[in-house]
Amino acid sequence: MTEDFTPGADELLFLPLGGTGEIGMNLNLYGHAGKWLMVDLGVTFGEESLPGIDVVMADPQFILDRRDQLAGLVLTHAHEDHIGAVPYLWPELRCPIYATPFTAALLRRKFADDDMEDPPEITVVPMSGSFTVGPFEIELVTLTHSIPEPNAVVLRTPPGTVLHTGDWKLDPDPLVGDDYDAQRLREIAQEGVLAMVCDSTNALVEGESGSELDAREGLESLIAELKGRVAVACFASNVARLESIMRVAEACGRRVALVGRSMHRIVASAREAGYLQDIPVLIDPEDIGYLPREEVLLLCTGSQGETRAALWRIAQNNHRDIALEPGDAVVFSSRVIPGNEKSIFALYNALIAAGVTVYGDDTSDLTLHVSGHPCRGELAQMYQWVRPKVSIPVHGERRHLAAHAELARRCQVPEAIVSGNGDLIRLAPGKAEIVATVETGRLLVDGDILRRSDSPALQQRRRVAYSGSAVVTAVFDRDGEPRGAPRLLASNLLEEEEDEDIAEAVLAAVQVALGRLGRQARRDPKAVGEAMRLAARRTITRLTGRRAIVEAQPIFLD
């Protein structure tokens, strides 16, 4: 490896830029013989600390600076945290894309929804397929997960072979899609595996994650007893769960309506790839009013409390076609993603306030959801099959990575490396180790603009969100004499009735400041505006203790 991080002919490098030390926005790079291979390119959701931001992704600047070395992008499966950034970043990357049929179908729809000009050609690889990307010989191994067609990626190079698991679990009854290919994993182990880069999400959870069949049986037991309308919130990408809910609805004498754009997109993509071929006929949400309430089941997006999703709008009683009322029920067939607790519980509270009964894993003894990620028992089984020389935990917070590494050592793996985004790991030649750290960051989708997390616009927006803002306006004649009293418009600052006294004090301070200006200064809009701004800011800080962003807008009449 040269100082510009070009991988040598005898080297095999691994560099995570996203998804290591955190859950979401996966972006991984493998380097060999002067080329880099990207595995997955995903997003995560915005947080309260990022006001106005819904989507966040890893900053790919490292590989953009070396775009001529990027051989291609291989996608392990179709979850947003693995493919969601592709439509945003492919115009800059311009590299070949490789995906299995369902992932390709969903990605093509995303490009179409975004009206992308000149969308990329996607090379569709069959399940268990093999292909070559630059100096990498690639093989896909079928696993199970909470979405169709999850794949482990085997990367073969002269310095060694890596098994990159992607997201997975060992589901004995996946219901939709193929079973995991344990035999092929054992065969690859016989060839010798240098390193396994592996999902760590449930590395702190003992036992096994459970089967999709368990969730189907639990949902049927619950929904069979419910009266009124039933809405079920789940991840739209969990096609097996969608099919389970549709089958449960059919068994319980209910008709299903899809509510939420991503539900329709996933179902269409699944059908294109050969799944969900014989599901019951769906009804349009506009038509549910013609059916008795006890014959309706709504499959909704918004299980994580997303304010733009269907279920949140239903809870706020502002959905165009759908309303819930006392006697109806909402079933959450999903897990709480860490960091989303506040928004999810706010959704729970809004539904309960409307008289709707809420069911989730924390309020029911039935199995309403099973994880799509391996628990410790499944991780141990995978290590027994693959027997890598090096374990590299990814897809988890630091505590998950550390627990995973400890388990790998217990499974007799000689080396386990706990790393973070930007840690460049040399897998070969020699002992596997972190040899450098490269700069990493995040890109934020702000409307139609991609911004870096240190953007001045976002810094100011955070300040407004936490400290508030105020604008003082006043009208003057050409000589700078006031034509009426100044006015104050405040945001996230003076919102309670008792704040009226503060507003009056601010305006009084502005008038005093204007009265102190000399005749010449009064004719200068810049001097007038600065006097107004300083007087308002000082008064707001003194009376509220908050350093709000304050602007002044003096208006001079001709």
- Using one digit for the tens of pLDDT, what is the confidence trace for 480-493? 888 888 998 887 77
510, two tokens: 């502005």
Q: Is the pLDDT of residue 497 over 70?
A: no
Instruction: Kindly report the length of the chain.
Output: 558
Report the pLDDT value the prediction gives residue 502, as an integer from 0 to 100: 82
Peptide bond into 126 cis (omega under 30): no
Under a CB-based contact definition with an 8 Å cutoff, are residues 242 and 256 in contact? no
Q: Which CATH class is domain 12-207+371-452?
A: alpha beta
244, two tokens: 């389970």
Q: Is the dihedral of CA 288, 292, 297, 300 positive or negative?
A: positive
Q: Is the pLDDT of residue 455 over 70?
A: no
Beta-carbon count within 10 A of 64 CB: 12
Token pair 């990498």 is at which residue? 136
Q: List, by residue range, all CATH 3.10.20.580 domains of the chain.
A: 468-556
pTM summary value? 0.83
Token pair 């299903």 is at which residue? 256
Q: List, by residue range, all CATH 3.40.50.10710 domains of the chain.
A: 212-359
Report the pLDDT value the prediction gives residue 315, as an integer from 0 to 100: 94
CA distance 457 to 443: 13
Radius of gyration in angstroms for the set of CA atoms belonging to the chain, rounded to a whole number: 28
In this prediction, residue 504 has a pLDDT band, given cuts at 50, 70 and 90, of: confident
Widest distance between CA atoms in the chain: 91
Residues facing 423 on adjacent strands: 437
86, containing H or E segment: helix 86-93
Under a CB-based contact definition with an 8 Å cutoff, are residues 153 and 140 in contact? yes
Beta-carbon count within 10 A of 330 CB: 27
Q: List, by residue range, all CATH 3.60.15.10 domains of the chain.
A: 12-207+371-452
- Using one digit for the tens of pLDDT, what is the confidence trace for 154-203? 999 999 999 999 999 999 999 998 999 999 999 999 999 999 999 999 99
Superfamily holding 212-359? Metallo-hydrolase/oxidoreductase (3.40.50.10710)
Number of H helices, E strands in the chain: 16, 29
Beta-carbon count within 10 A of 365 CB: 9
468-556: CATH, from 1.10.1060.10, 3.20.20.140, 3.40.50.1100, 3.10.20.580: 3.10.20.580
The bridge status of strand 449-452 relative to strand 487-491 is unpaired
Token pair 């389970």 is at which residue? 244
Closest CA to 80 of 205, 276, 193, 237: 237
- Using one digit for the tens of pLDDT, what is the confidence trace for 223-278? 999 999 999 999 999 999 999 999 999 999 999 999 999 999 999 999 999 999 98
Token pair 């919102």 is at which residue? 495
Report the pLDDT value the prediction gives residue 474, as an integer from 0 to 100: 92
